[in-house]
A and B are shown apart, each in its own frame.
Chain A
Amino acid sequence: MGAISAADLTRLRTTRHGTKLSMVIYPPPTIWSARVNGAQDLGDTTITVDGVVQVRAPNADYLVRFGSYAGSDNYGTARFVSYAAPTLTVTPHNADLIDDLYITIVEEVPPQSKLVTINDSDVVFEENALAYVDEDTAFPPLPRCGTHAVEYLDMPASEGGLATVRFYDHGSVAFNGATIASVLWSWRGGTQTVGTAATAGTEAVPNEVTWDTVGNYYCSYTVTDSNGKSATRYFIVFIRDKSITVSGYEVFSKIQVDQLEGDAESGAYRTTVSIFDEYATETILPHGVQCVLFAEDWFGTEQVSIGHEAWRENIVFAGYMRKGTVKKNWFRGTVEFELESISGVIENLWQIASGLETFASGDNTLGWHVITGLTYNLACYHMLVWHSTIAKITDVWFNLPSYTIEYVDIPDSSLADGLRQAFAAVRSRMGCSREGTLYFEINPQLQSYDSRSSTYVITTTLADCRDDMDFGDELCDKVVSQIDLEGLDANAEPLFALAPPSPWNSGKTERVDGIRVSGQLESNEFSGLYEGWRNNPWNEIVIPWRGNYRPLDIFPAEPIAINLTAAQNPRGYAWTNQRCWIKRVTLEYRDTVLLVTTVVEKDAYGPPGIANNFPGEPPEIPTPQKPTNPTTPYIPPPPYPPPT
């Protein structure tokens, strides 16, 4: 995102503004259907079918439903692998495939886990049957193309209206020395007017595509690298006509959005939406449906949006309905449900335990468990790309510290917990922007002080707040008296550090274990940073912004600079360009007022600690010896059985 432009700051500070917030949903359409032909074994992944009806050929990982009637999934789901008449191949499932069961494939890659399997010879396969070829060094590229698009036709479709949407490559990346060799966009009904399907496009010169018909277009962006490996990202283009409501392509504009709140610790946004539109029923909102909240913003008489992502400034939030939360509120006449970002969804995606190791440390048997030159970034990449569908449905950025590691153990847990365990050693965190882009990055407060960003999203003036900043209860005493840090170098040798060298006289000692460091100096530095962060007296500053300051987000970590004099806050603080980091962002929407509130923490710093030469484990306490001269005289036990 970077800094908000001067022109946009002027708009935000001086121009009365209002917003119409609306929502669109993506109930995925059926593109392929068939019936099971003859009973198959329970859980068969190669299924003989007949009665195939194909609208479009499915792509890998599209959702497959098994049900007792067309479109239903009461027998379970899987993902599409391939079809060669009369055999449909799908991913593992537990469906009992009775004769004539309905199979429906919808046009959507769902957010799901992919499970690792190990055969009787201890050979690892991804996704049940995917054999290792060269993936220890040749990693598929990672396409990035931004969030979904929502656009209105510029006039009614009946009068030849067109909607123009712009696209560009958001920084697709190839790995391990490979380069991006080619790209291919698929517009699904759109007509390209600037660029070609093989043009990546840039933010300054994006591809332009027009649509003339209302619809939900499931588009894709495929990137191929110089190793011949390719990967595809899917995104949705929602085209709407203001003059008519087309069944199946509604715009929900009579909505109430309870606080849309994201916090950097959990990394997720969540909210509850109530729909008042007459045509909203619980039945048109399928469980887990993708939802996009978008805005029409007016600054005075100028319609312009100030957002977080270039060419998608009107997108306020992209996420998924939480399954099982949709309900009718008969009293209010509304349909209500909860929304969460993709980072919330992955909290509930399960994966089985597995591990990754760098080739040099292994048993020299190549396979899926090996990644040459393993880093924390590559470990997270591997989990997202091979153990889930997430990298196909959202942009992902891996900005973790670049240390190499010997191995990573992936626990039997949720995908989110597995990822957290993978990067726990590098002071990092994971989370989403409101538009759904997923970031892995170091906690900015635990980053070397000199490398912290000074590119402020905003440098505040008196006009930016709609009320006093709330500094909360300043911590007058230290929470932590001393950080006792155990750093681990590349050979997993411990490097202990204490910060501050002499404990503060309040708080308690806190142990921080297993932090990856390059050496003793870094261990000392990090112990100081931890101490400064944990004892930061200003860690909950509430800033109520004067209006629709949507560019402020929890991810990626970007600082803001606060200016205020002692007379402008009840605590009498005078700060000049004080760097702060966003912890939480809350959006409130009522009528046409969209207000942003953030909770920030002051930039914290603690001077480096000192090497701790104490042993890491407590000293062994000798076991007391059995006394040789018992003071109590020996009494023999009574005979058994007792004498009669």
Chain B
Amino acid sequence: MSRFQIATYAQGVAGLKDLCELVREEPQSTFLPYTELTGSDLTGAPIESGLPTATWSWDWLSQDDIDQLQQYCSTMSAQVYIRMPTDSGTQRKTEKYLAVMHRPKMGDPEDRETGNQAIPTARPVEVTFTAMVVQV
């Protein structure tokens, strides 16, 4: 099972699908257990506020890969279920979340090659997830 999975809201947790089946490789990911630092309390401790946020990014994906991702979010944003690693240590724990997926951000297209195959319209891609609610 891949560490990264995704499903539409309608498919539910049971519909989580390995990301490797959709795109060429797993993304680089970041995970923050909060949305923003809103200040420090009177002891000086920082205050983390809001629900967890995450990003998935790829150096490049083909247009076919991007099309696959956009099936999960064709508008400004959409609710999806995801599974992803939440720690950066050696034992990378994964959790399932209900999250708001934002429309994938894409960089400029560039020609790529993988093996003997030319990928004419590859682009760097980043997907942001917000309002993540852990599914237990």
Contact = CB atoms under 8 A, between A and B. Distances in A.
Interface of A: 16-20, 242-243, 254, 276, 278, 298, 301, 303, 462-468, 544, 546-547, 564, 568, 591-593, 595
B42 interface: yes
B130 interface: yes
Given A16-B48, A592-B50, A593-B50, A465 B130 contact: no
Given A463-B41, A546-B47, 5 more contacts: A16-B34, A20-B131, A298-B133, A465-B41, A466-B47
B134 interface: yes
A243 B36 contact: no
Contacts of B39: 465-467, 544, 546
A564 B42 CA distance: 9
Contacts, number: 75
A334 to B, nearest CB: 11
Contacts of A20: 51, 131
A254 B101 CA distance: 13
A568 B51 CA distance: 29
A468 B42 contact: yes
8 contacts: A17-B49, A301-B134, A464-B41, A568-B42, A591-B35, A591-B50, A591-B130, A593-B36
B42 A465 contact: yes
A416 B49 CA distance: 39
Interface string B69-89: 000000111000000000000
Contact of A547 (B45, B47, B130): B47
B40 A467 contact: yes
Q: Which of B34, B43, B52, B131 has the most CB of A within 10 A?
A: B131
Give 4 nearest A-B pairs by CB, closest first: A18-B51, A466-B39, A462-B42, A593-B50
B127 to A, nearest CB: 16
Nearest to B45: A463
B9 interface: yes
Contact of B38 (A242, A464, A568, A595): A595
Contacts of A243: 9-10
A242 B130 CA distance: 17
B84 to A, nearest CB: 16
A18 B47 CA distance: 12
Contacts of B51: 18, 20, 298, 592
A466 B33 contact: no
A571 to B, nearest CB: 14
Nearest to B43: A462
A547 B76 CA distance: 28
B76 A276 contact: yes
Interface of B: 9-10, 33-36, 38-43, 45, 47-52, 75-77, 130-131, 133-134, 136
A18 B131 contact: yes
A642 to B, nearest CB: 89
Contacts of A468: 42
A19 B130 CA distance: 12
B112 to A, nearest CB: 34
Nearest to B34: A16
B42 A18 contact: no
Nearest to A20: B131
Contacts of A465: 39, 41-42
Given A278-B76, A463-B43, A568-B42, A592 B9 contact: no
Contact of A592 (B40, B42, B77, B131): B131
A193 to B, nearest CB: 27
B36 A591 contact: yes
A533 to B, nearest CB: 28
B54 to A, nearest CB: 13
A13 B59 CA distance: 40
Contacts of A592: 35, 50-51, 130-131
Contact of A466 (B9, B41, B76): B41
A410 B134 CA distance: 57
A301 B136 contact: yes
B38 A593 contact: yes
A18 B45 CA distance: 18
B52 to A, nearest CB: 8
A546 B41 contact: yes
Contacts of A17: 49
A162 to B, nearest CB: 18
Contacts of A547: 38, 47, 49
B49 to A, nearest CB: 5
A243 B75 CA distance: 17
A19 B49 CA distance: 9
A40 B38 CA distance: 64
Contacts of B43: 462-463
